[in-house]
A = this chain, B = another copy of it.
Amino acid sequence: MASKGPTIALDAMGGDAAPEIVVCGAAIARERFPDTRFLIFGGGDRVRSLIAENKALAAQAEYRDASTVISADAKASHALRTGRDSSMWRALDAVKQGEATAAVSAGNTGALMAISKFVLRMPAGVDRPAMASIMPTATGETVMLDLGANLECDADNLFQFAILGALFAHATLAMDRPTVGLLNVGAEELKGSDTIKAAAQMLRAREGQLPLRFAGFIEGDDIIGGKVDVVVTDGFSGNVALKTAEGAARLFGQFLRSTFSSSPRARMGYLLARPALKRLREHLDPRKYNGAVFLGLNGIAVKSHGGSDAIGFANAVGVAIDMARHGFLENVRAEFERLQTLGLENKTASL
């Protein structure tokens, strides 16, 4: 138990197949990152016995009983009022208390967002946290934010998201001064709302002082096209874009399956192409991209997809470990402190 690796707090009760996929996911993550410890918050004997079944995990995990569970359909405001003793809240509180490096939950997204904001708070200079995720693209991988934490954003929010997204890409994808694009309805400077134009102006004017290269406006097809390393947008269109891309991927798989089973000849073609198609499927495996992250908090909180399996959950844990290992929080604090020193804290006002 006295390793120097990170300690990850887990909400064992969140997700459609909890607690099984959480404990199983922790076991997989432990194999990948052998120096990791786990603080597992759960609701009873089932979790305890699942942990005990895996001796290697049990040796690096501590179980703590939480008396309540936040349900998948609870309103965020309700969870915030009543969830103090829940497995989710206690996992986040372990981060706040310094017992854990990061918290991972596959539970209620709105509740996780609200509670992590309430418990962990934002560092100076960050007005609102954002939800970010990594997506596969034509050329590699792209970070997109916000994905739904802030349905409406002002120019300051978008400016801050650009910095947070760039630091996240740096920590998890080893990108140095990543390119950042603002999602818009056209690439021309004249397009878009006043908010987005103001954000572009701020980023263009201060690019030299920021840990990113500003690539200007991009359009919906540029996200998956991999035109930039980080896509910044408001939570409404970010959520729409992410889910549209996921829906397109699902539809494509469905079309492909029905195409390959449409005739004996097509089925034979499938059998021949199967190894190559398997590599394609692996490249697009949604479990690889599991784990939405709340950026802009004084702590690491990762949301695993509610319908994820153990492998997906282990990947979400991996994202948390990457962020911790590469000093994401320290970089955010340092960057926003530096901006304040530079007098850039009142951003819109100072233009």
Whether B275 pairs with A235 at a CB distance below 8 angstroms is no
Specify the chain B residue showing the minimal Cβ separation from A226.
B251
Specify the chain B residue showing the minimal Cβ separation from A149.
B185
A220 to B137, CA, bound (A): 18
Encode A238-268 as 1/0 by CB contact (under 8 A) with B. 0111111111111110111001101101101
Whether B273 pairs with A269 at a CB distance below 8 angstroms is yes
Q: Which chain B residues border A283 with CB–CB below 8 Å?
A: 255
Knowing A151-B192, A248-B224, A271-B269 are in contact, say whether A259-B240 is a contact too (CB < 8 A): no
Residue A351 interfacial (CB < 8 Å): no
Whether B236 pairs with A185 at a CB distance below 8 angstroms is yes
Q: How far is the CB of A200 from chain B (nearest CB, A)?
A: 15
Whether B244 pairs with A223 at a CB distance below 8 angstroms is yes
Q: How far is the CB of A65 from chain B (nearest CB, A)?
A: 31
Chain A, range 214-242, C-beta contacts under 8 Å to B? 219-225, 233, 235-237, 239-242
Q: How far is the CB of A52 from chain B (nearest CB, A)?
A: 37
Whether B239 pairs with A221 at a CB distance below 8 angstroms is no
A160 to B345, CA, bound (A): 42
Whether A273 pairs with B276 at a CB distance below 8 angstroms is no
Q: Which chain B residues border A186 with CB–CB below 8 Å?
A: 148
Chain A, range 185-225, C-beta contacts under 8 Å to B? 185-186, 188, 190, 192-193, 219-225
Chain A, range 256-297, C-beta contacts under 8 Å to B? 256, 259-260, 262-263, 265-266, 268-277, 279-280, 283-284
Specify the chain B residue showing the minimal Cβ separation from A242.
B220
Whether B240 pairs with A183 at a CB distance below 8 angstroms is yes
Chain A, range 171-188, C-beta contacts under 8 Å to B? 183, 185-186, 188
Q: How far is the CB of A263 from chain B (nearest CB, A)?
A: 6
Q: Footprint of B on A, CB under 8 Å?
A: 73, 75, 137-138, 148, 151-152, 183, 185-186, 188, 190, 192-193, 219-225, 233, 235-237, 239-252, 254-256, 259-260, 262-263, 265-266, 268-277, 279-280, 283-284
A-B pairs with lowest CB-CB distance, top 3: A220-B243, A221-B247, A269-B273
